[in-house]
């Protein structure tokens, strides 16, 4: 599905968010800017926007951008070349079985990945496993706003307007019908924080953005903790 929409992914993001998605990614990158020296991993990097934000915020930190969809990566490469970003390595990888040793990265980020995982707990454990001691894990996700009235209005936009725009612009109503459905069945921000703690992350905190329609979660890897949490 993500391969089908790769060619119009950036345009759809801009239309759906009024161009705000870049600011949200910059906020996510800023949330891990204080991570120790070392490389960053951006999971579900898509066309590379969060990887670029990490480079801008990371004071020269090398970045690996990984995605399950090779079509997304094909669209990311010319964007990175146009920005002169030779220190972003792109590769195809499964977020549930990352091809990296334990404690490889100073920080691990994702934008709009977690609700697409077949096993959320396993994905969080993998993010935790490849993060070094003192490192940070951050996730940007869409969430349902908790404000009465606004929640209903957002639901109307998300469930009716977004699929229509997806059909007209991306030629794929099914993909943009899946999007609000995936959000509706995803955990709440508080529940996600608890799952991150269960995966072995500490000091987990989150902040809502976009009138409560998004949340950035950040957790820390403490010294002495094992590189994964046994299930």
pLDDT at 225: 55
- Taking 50 as the pLDDT cut, the residues of the chain under it are 228-231
CA distances from 200 to 7, 218, 227, 230 (A): 37, 12, 8, 9
Copy the structure tokens of residue 81.
């070349």
Could you tell me if 221 and 125 are in contact, meaning their C-beta atoms sit under 8 angstroms apart?
Answer: no
CA distances from 183 to 14, 38, 48, 204 (A): 19, 33, 22, 21
CA distances from 80 to 21, 45, 125 (A): 18, 12, 29
Q: Does 125 fall in a domain?
A: yes
Q: What is the CATH number of the domain that holds 198?
A: 3.40.50.150
pLDDT at 231: 35
Per-residue pLDDT of 66-90, as tens digits, reads 999 999 999 999 999 998 887 899 9
Q: How many domains does the chain have?
A: 1
Domain that includes residue 101, residue range: 6-147+187-220
pLDDT at 176: 87
pLDDT at 76: 96
pLDDT at 230: 38
Q: Does 158 fall in a domain?
A: no
Q: Does 181 fall in a domain?
A: no
Overall pTM surpassing 0.75 (yes/no): yes
Q: Does 50 fall in a domain?
A: yes
Q: Does 172 fall in a domain?
A: no
Nearest to 180 by CA among 166, 194, 170, 197: 166
Q: Does 175 fall in a domain?
A: no
Per-residue pLDDT of 22-77, as tens digits, reads 999 999 999 999 999 999 999 999 999 999 999 999 778 999 999 999 999 999 99
Q: What angle do CA 30, 3, 187 make, to 5 degrees?
A: 55
Nearest to 145 by CA among 177, 184, 117, 196: 184
Q: Does 203 fall in a domain?
A: yes
Q: Does 167 fall in a domain?
A: no
């Amino acid at each position: 599905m993500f391969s089908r929409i790769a060619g119009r992914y950036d345009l759809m993001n801009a239309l759906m968010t009024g161009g705000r998605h870049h600011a949200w990614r910059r906020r996510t990158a800023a949330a891990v800017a204080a991570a120790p020296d070392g490389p960053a991993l951006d999971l579900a990097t898509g066309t590379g926007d969060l990887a670029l934000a990490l480079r801008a915020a990371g004071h020269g930190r090398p970045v690996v951008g990984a995605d399950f969809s090779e079509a997304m990566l094909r669209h990311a490469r010319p964007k990175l070349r146009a920005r002169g970003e030779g220190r972003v390595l792109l590769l195809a990888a499964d977020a549930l079985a990352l091809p990296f040793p334990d404690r490889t990265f100073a920080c691990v980020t994702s934008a709009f990945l977690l609700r697409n995982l077949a096993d959320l707990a396993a994905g969080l454990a993998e993010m935790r496993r490849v993060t070094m001691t003192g490192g940070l894990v951050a996730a940007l996700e869409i969430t349902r706003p908790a404000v009465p009235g606004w929640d209903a209005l957002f639901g109307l936009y998300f469930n009716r307007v977004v699929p229509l725009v997806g059909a007209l612009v991306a030629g794929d109503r099914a993909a943009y019908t899946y999007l609000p459905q995936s959000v509706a069945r995803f955990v709440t921000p508080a529940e996600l924080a608890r799952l991150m703690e269960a995966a072995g992350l500490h000091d987990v905190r989150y902040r809502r953005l976009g009138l409560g329609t998004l949340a950035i979660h950040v957790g820390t890897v403490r010294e002495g903790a094992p590189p994964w949490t046994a299930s």
